[in-house]
Amino acid sequence: MKELENQEVREETVRGLASINHRVTEIEEATTRFSSYESIYNYVTSSETESDEHIRGIFTEAVLSESNVNYALLFDVTGEVVFKRGYDLNSKENKSVPGELIDFFEMHSILVTHQTAQSKLSGIIRTPVGLFVISSQPISGDNQKIVGSLVLCRVIDTQMKESMEKSSLLSLNLIPLQDSMEDNEYEDILNQLGEEVIPIVRWEGEKINGYTVLNDLYGSPALLLKVESPGLIYKQGVKMVNYFVYSFVLIAVSIGMLVLLAFNRLVVMPLSTLSNEVSIINASTINDKSVKIPGDDEISSLSRDIDKMLKNLRKYQNKIKETERMVSIGATATMVGHDLRNPLQVVFMLTDLIQKRLQWIKKEETREIEDIVNLIERIKNQATYMNKIVSDLQGLTEGIRLDIEDVNIIDLVQEVLETIQFPDNIEEKMFFEEDFPEIYADKNKLKRVFTNLITNAVQAITNGGELVIKGFRLEDEVYISIVDTGCGISEEYLDNIFDPLFTTKARGTGLGLTVCKRIAEAHGGKIVAKSHPGIGSCFTLVLPVNRKLESVDQNPEAFMDYETPQSHILPLSLV
């Protein structure tokens, strides 16, 4: 009987899986239909904005509701969103498209770029704002030339689950799976499933449940389907066995409860009180908190020992703070000495080469001035690098001097890219709007900022990816963003990355981003950082266009408080 019930649940689990596949097919068919519209093709290829209302007339509330679509997104061939519309299937109202969702698609260009007009991507995808059923298909004309992509998204939520239950006549549960499976109650089920998508059955209380896992478009487990079914014959048999077992153990349980009550009063309660007293001790309460449990037993003695230990901790706390300050200064000096040693060795080597070359010129009476000039130039470059390290240290306490001139940002970024060695598995791209303006700024200091930001982005992309540099003008400011698909920065570190001497690198001084921020603020601008761990980071440099500054020795903005986190808002096109 048990095996028959197990087989029935397996079949119901397969039906539940088919119901999800039906939702994927449904949204894929809707995407195929809309992507073939000539008006959508004309909108993506046109630079005029008056056709926006016509596109909204295609993706109306009634159409989105009938197609069971929450979000409709149009992307051009570069992967930038050109149209977006959202709809809440529960409240039947329009809703805005989350910026995190647009960031996700723009950073994962594989989801919105297609190689052929027949290619398509459909399935489950995990984003920072939740799980979705999506379909992405290319937009192309009669000539088969791809001009963009259409992405339709359906939120995997309670409304979708209830719709699936109604159509399949099953009791279903859709469980999102996190990246980390530590302490997950379904970890054992996933281990049993392994790499095979085969339903398994587990008895839980009065119900028998079937499970199967669904992978996302990247092949990673994203959703656990749970089908619940009441046990019938087997459940009654288990109840009879349990009745006799409970009868035999009832007396033993009663005696055990009496023992537990005594143990709780004499041991557990005092230990619980002690645990509560200790748990509220932290850095802010250690100076005025004491632990005392009245009595003459071992637990009371332990509380007195803990209180004595707290007094000793308070005594050494001030000493530790002073020691940390001195260690920080010493660590900085060590790092500076290490960074200066290698270029100095190169300077010594090149000096010897120059001396030998001069002796050769004198001996052979020939002229090799050009070679000597090149050697001298290399010496200057190494000396310049050493000077940068010293300048970074000085920049923490001194004002920043600006030598203002007309600067072509595009040429400056290209010049910086030529000096940086990119690994073969990193693809760099530049997108600057047409007629991007020149600005008044200190070219050398901006070069230092771009070098630092781009180098950091390259170092963050450890397993290959994309580095995109975007620029555009908004009113009287220019925005230059360096976007990478690297490891990202966790939220707990994001507010501290501009603090002096703060670094997450194994080798780093913690000065680069601090100085970059001060240079931006000395120009009357700012640097904004956004990051999603596992997705990537975006550093945006904002600078004024027409602020023609004189040579500045000490700009008041260069002395902003770096201990207070600054909040900024990016334009929507850079989010």
Q: Which residue has the tokens 């250690």?
A: 286
CB half-sphere exposure, 145, CA atoms < 13 A: 8
Task: Output phi, psi for 572, to 5 deg.
Answer: -60, -35
In whole angstroms, give the CA distance from residue 94 to residue 63.
12
Round the CA-based radius of gyration of the chain to a whole number and report it. Answer: 33
For residue 214, which of 110, 81, 125 has the smallest C-alpha distance?
A: 125
Indicate the pairing of strand 465-474 with strand 439-441. unpaired
Amino acid at 421: Q
CATH number, domain containing residue 496 = 3.30.565.10
3-state secondary structure 176-241: ECCCCCCCCCCHHHHHHHCCCCCCEEEEECCEEEEEEEEECCCCCEEEEEEEEEECCHHHHHHHHH
What pLDDT score does 272 carry? Answer: 77
Q: Which of 165, 188, 212 is the last residue of a domain?
A: 165
Q: Residue 51's CB: how many other CB atoms inside 10 A?
A: 15
- Specify the DSSP class assigned to residue 552: B
Residue 95 three-state SS: strand
In whole angstroms, give the CA distance from residue 119 to residue 103.
23
Q: Which of 113, 130, 165 is the last residue of a domain?
A: 165
Residue 131 falls within a domain, yes or no? yes
Residues 208-235 pLDDT 10s: 788 888 888 888 888 888 888 776 555 5
Cβ(57)–Cβ(72) below 8 Å = no
3-state secondary structure 5-64: HHHHHHHHHHHHHHHHHHHHHHHHHHHHHHHCCHHHHHHHHCCCCCCHHHHHHHCCHHHH
What pLDDT score does 241 carry? Answer: 74
DSSP of 117-182? TT--EEEEEEETTEEEEEEEEEEE-TT--EEEEEEEEEE-SHHHHHHHHHHHTSEEEEEEPPS--T
For residue 378, which of 353, 356, 414 has the smallest C-alpha distance?
A: 353
Residue 513 falls within a domain, yes or no? yes
Q: Which residue has the tokens 């904004």?
A: 528
Task: Output phi, psi for 22, to 5 deg.
Answer: -65, -40
Indicate the pairing of strand 426-432 with strand 465-474. parallel
Task: Output phi, psi for 202, to 5 deg.
Answer: -135, 135
Q: Which helix (H) or strand (E) holds 520?
A: helix 512-522
The count of structural domains within the chain is 2
Residues 111-170 pLDDT 10s: 888 888 888 999 999 999 999 999 999 998 878 889 999 999 999 998 898 888 888 888
531, two tokens: 């990051």
- Cβ partners under 8 Å of residue 86, min gap 6: 70, 71, 72, 94, 95, 96, 97
In whole angstroms, give the CA distance from residue 180 to residue 200.
22
Residue 459 falls within a domain, yes or no? yes
Residue 189 falls within a domain, yes or no? no
Q: Which of 130, 150, 165 is the last residue of a domain?
A: 165
Domain containing 447 equals 405-574
519, two tokens: 């240079």
10, two tokens: 């397996």
For residue 485, which of 429, 527, 415 has the smallest C-alpha distance?
A: 429
Cβ(499)–Cβ(564) below 8 Å = no
In whole angstroms, give the CA distance from residue 214 to residue 197.
7
Residue 570 falls within a domain, yes or no? yes
Residue 412 three-state SS: helix
pTM: 0.41
Amino acid at 495: D
What pLDDT score does 547 carry? Answer: 67
pLDDT in tens, the chain (575 residues): 667 677 777 888 888 888 999 999 999 999 999 998 888 888 888 855 456 788 888 899 999 999 999 999 999 888 899 999 999 998 899 999 999 999 999 898 888 888 888 889 999 999 999 999 999 999 988 788 899 999 999 999 988 988 888 888 888 888 888 754 554 667 777 777 665 555 666 666 667 788 888 888 888 888 888 888 776 555 565 667 777 788 878 888 888 888 888 777 777 777 777 777 777 777 666 666 676 667 777 777 777 777 778 777 777 776 676 456 445 654 665 566 556 666 767 776 777 777 677 666 655 545 566 666 667 667 766 666 566 566 566 555 556 788 899 999 999 999 999 988 888 899 999 999 999 999 999 999 999 899 999 999 998 998 889 999 999 999 999 999 999 999 898 888 888 888 877 777 765 667 788 889 989 999 999 999 999 998 999 999 999 997 655 444 444 333 333 233 333 333 333 34
Residue 305 three-state SS: helix
Q: Cα 4 from chain centroid? A: 47
b (16+ CB within 10 A) / e for 203-237: beeeebbbbbbbebbeeebbbbbbbebebeebeee
What pLDDT score does 479 carry? Answer: 96
Residue 503 falls within a domain, yes or no? yes
Q: What is the dihedral of CA 100, 106, 111, 112, to 10 degrees?
A: 130
Indicate the pairing of strand 477-484 with strand 426-432. unpaired
In whole angstroms, give the CA distance from residue 430 to residue 416.
13
- Average pLDDT over the chain reads 78
77, two tokens: 């061939």
Residue 88 falls within a domain, yes or no? yes
In whole angstroms, give the CA distance from residue 548 to residue 440.
6
The 3-state DSSP composition of the chain as helix, strand, coil percent (nearest 5) reads 50, 20, 30
Residue 548 falls within a domain, yes or no? yes
